[in-house]
Amino acid sequence: MSTPPTSPKRRPPIAVALVAVALVAAATLWILVGPERQTATEPVASSPPAQPGRPALSVALTAPQLADWPQVIAAYGNVAAWQEAVIGAELSGYRMTEVLVNVGDVVEKGQLLALIASDTVEAELAQSRAAVEEAQARLAEARADADRARRIEERGALSAQQINQLLTAEQTAIARVSAAQAKLEADELRLSQTRVLAPDDGVISARTATVGSLAQNGEELFRLIRGGRLEWRAEVTATELSRVKAGMKASLHPPGDAPQPPVEGQVRMVAPTLDPLTRNAIVYVDLPADGPLRAGMFVRGEMQVGAAPALTLPQGAVVLRDGFAYVYLVDTDNRVRELKVEVGRRLGDRIEIALGVTPEMRLVASGAAFLTDGDLVKVVEAPPPAEGLAASR
């Protein structure tokens, strides 16, 4: 009797589920890891070479120039009259009848400035003249009597006492003539003092005289800047004083909103002492009489004390940022490099570079304010127009 064939066993449902989960996880892992492994193992194609950038600005180049620049001492001080004469009345109790000048008038030595009432003085002068004539007449009479007494003295016609009286009368008459003449000269002087005259050439800087006012002896009527000469009284420190000598040149900058050309002067003298409070000394600088400066101005100036070599650049090549000065060096690849420098003196449109550059450097001449470190520039022969600088950025 034959045995019937057995049917195959059926897999449990749990095992089938586990196999399905394993297959899904393997597929997911391949999706996530497979591309990364392929990227890591496969060679990467080389990137194309970088193209040169667009120039940030068109610039002209300059190089530091070596020149002998004057060394100066900067100072401040007041402009004052070289000498100011005070013109006053020499008579007392007489009224002013006429004032002929005003502030700012240029006068000459001996020019009439004002008149004081002279009627009373003229009357007294006439009396003095009459007194002189009377004294001279009495002198003539006394001299004749004295001569007669001398002639008859040897004859004994007159006593010694009478002769002495006649001789004494002659001496008295002579003294009276002298006194009368002195009074006449005093009255003539008083008459001349009714005319107030300029003691020197100059400019009237002040006037207090008014018509009708009563003049007093010694009272100020006018102030006169002698010769119209002005001076600058510059204050310098004790350390700078030894470098200042008479005859040195000085340049003053007139105050004002609009720039003006400097006023040239010359050091006349240096004060022998220092102010005990400020420890500064005064340097007196002569100024031209026809310049724009006026007495009482407070101005800034420089005194030239020598010369020294200096490396200079146009002021447009120097950029001030955050309190520091910078210039831009152009490398061989036309890229700029920012250099920090120390600046010194300024003369015209150029500035001294005390530290940070050498004469062989190629530097941006203008427009440096529009550049940053590493910018690519285009070098041209002449600087571009000012209005195109910002647009080229």
The mean per-residue pLDDT over the stretch 260-265 comes to: 90
> What is the pLDDT, as a whole number, of residue 377?
87
The mean per-residue pLDDT over the stretch 66-71 comes to: 84
Range 57-72+309-392 classified under CATH 2.40.420.20: yes
> What is the pLDDT, as a whole number, of residue 52?
56
Distance between start and end Cα atoms, the chain: 107
> What is the pLDDT, as a whole number, of residue 146?
85
Answer whether 286's CB lies under 8 Å from 266's CB. yes
Q: Does the pLDDT at position 240 exceed 60?
A: yes
> What is the pLDDT, as a whole number, of residue 19?
57
Under DSSP, is residue 302 helix (H, G, I), strand (E, B) or coil?
strand
Convert the pLDDT of each residue in 14-66 to its tens digit: 655 665 656 666 665 555 545 444 444 444 444 444 345 687 788 888 889 88
Retrieve residue 243's tokens: 């470098």
Distances (CA, A) of 235 to 169, 176, 244, 294: 71, 62, 11, 18
Structural domain boundaries in the chain: 57-72+309-392, 74-82+229-298, 87-215
The mean per-residue pLDDT over the stretch 135-154 comes to: 85
Convert the pLDDT of each residue in 298-351 to its tens digit: 999 999 888 888 889 998 889 998 889 999 999 988 899 999 999 988 887 889
Alpha-carbon distance 333 to 317, whole Å?
Answer: 20
Convert the pLDDT of each residue in 204-236 to its tens digit: 999 999 999 988 888 899 999 999 999 999 999
Distances (CA, A) of 247 to 264, 265, 283, 305, 351: 12, 9, 11, 10, 27
Q: Does the pLDDT at position 291 exceed 90?
A: no
- Bridge partner list, 150: none
Say if pTM beats, i.e. exceeds, 0.85: no
Retrieve residue 298's tokens: 């407070």
HSE, side-chain direction, 13 A CA sphere, residue 159: 3
How crowded is residue 346: how many other Cβ atoms within 10 Å of its Cβ?
A: 12
C-beta pairs of 241-249 under 8 Å, 24+ apart in sequence: 241/270, 241/274, 241/281, 241/283, 243/73, 243/305, 243/306, 244/73, 244/270, 244/283, 244/303, 244/305, 245/270, 245/305, 246/270, 248/303, 248/304, 248/305, 249/303, 249/304
> What is the pLDDT, as a whole number, of residue 60?
87
Asked whether the domain spanning 74-82+229-298 has the same topology as the one spanning 57-72+309-392, the reply is: no
> What is the pLDDT, as a whole number, of residue 26?
62
Alpha-carbon distance 193 to 154, whole Å?
Answer: 54
Structural class in CATH, domain 74-82+229-298: mainly beta
Retrieve residue 382's tokens: 């002449």
Task: Name the more confident of 295 and 44.
Answer: 295
Answer whether 367's CB lies under 8 Å from 374's CB. no
- Bridge partner list, 114: 99, 196
**Surface-to-core class of residue 310, CB atoms within 10 Å of its CB (0-12 exposed, 13-18 middle, 19+ buried):** buried
